[in-house]
Amino acid sequence: MLKTRTGSFPIGFRRGWSDWNKNLDSMLTWAKSEGLSVIDLGGDAPETLPVVEKAGMRVGSVDLQAWSDLASADAGKRKEALAKNEALISACGAQNYFAVLLPEDASKPRAENFKLLMAGLNELGPILDTHGGKLVIEGWPGPGALGCTPESYRAVLKESSSKAIGINYDPSHLVRMGIDPIRFVDEFADRVYHVHGKDTEIISEGLYEFGTEQPATLAKGHGFGSHTWRYTIPGHGCVRWVRAFEILAARGYKGCVSIELEDENFNGSEEGEKFALVSGGRFLASC
């Protein structure tokens, strides 16, 4: 079984959308044969989680439902989203629950959306506490995202009613935003409950050609990226994985590392995706 050299964190991957990922039994058989022991699941977790556990593998995270509705201005929609997630959490138990903190309406002032979000999260917290679950917030900087920078993560954690509200540490998003991922994990390690193994390459030629403030006029950008950066498998970007794992290990992290495969060099074919997951897993095992 593949584990990181630093910290001995089990290594696996987030279940993808490709055809070969859809046959769960064959996917699990392949993963085990390659030493990958962790799978992150989507919204079908109540049905698929028992299959993963029966196969002797660990579930890294389960996708929370109706993310944006938790930050809705409509109390009825928030209540419905909470009920849906309470059913999910009750069915899946003590798991990590993955979410991106996207507002319902990104055009509203951020401070207003933040207040709506915290109203939803602070109702979700006791549900997580009851079942021993944890929320792992993904820092994807999507439209109006409210938990992806140190400032916004800090505010969410400070205002949370429960220590169950935590972080999915994915350094790839930090790198693309120009945020030091090592300083970040040093500040927030105590609330990191899950890790995504994804890297980012900064494209210096693209920075010269286009800068950071304007889109390109004619040039085509990169898949899973832009003109100045792109997501990669671990080891093909600039994240200092050993140092990140050293910090997590020293602070008592007991979770795992799941590769989230978004790399234009490998996505698109079963052969390429499997090669990327094995290569990324072995690289992480060397860190």
Q: How do the pLDDT tens digits run along the chain, 287 residues long? A: 999 999 999 999 999 999 999 999 999 999 999 999 999 999 899 999 999 999 999 999 999 999 999 999 999 999 999 999 999 999 999 999 999 999 999 999 999 999 999 999 999 999 999 999 999 999 999 999 999 999 999 999 999 989 999 999 999 999 999 999 999 999 999 999 999 999 999 999 999 999 999 989 999 999 999 999 999 999 999 999 999 999 999 999 999 999 999 999 999 999 999 999 999 999 999 99
d(CA 217, CA 29): 46
Instruction: Please report the pLDDT score of residue 3 as a whole number.
Output: 98
Bridge partners (DSSP) listed for residue 97: 62, 135
Q: What is the pTM of this model?
A: 0.97
Q: Return the closest-CA partner of residue 226 out of 269, 198, 277, 264.
A: 264
d(CA 85, CA 92): 10
Domain coordinates in residue numbering, the chain? 11-285
| CATH number for the domain whose boundaries are 11-285 | 3.20.20.150
Provide the residue type at 284 as one letter. L
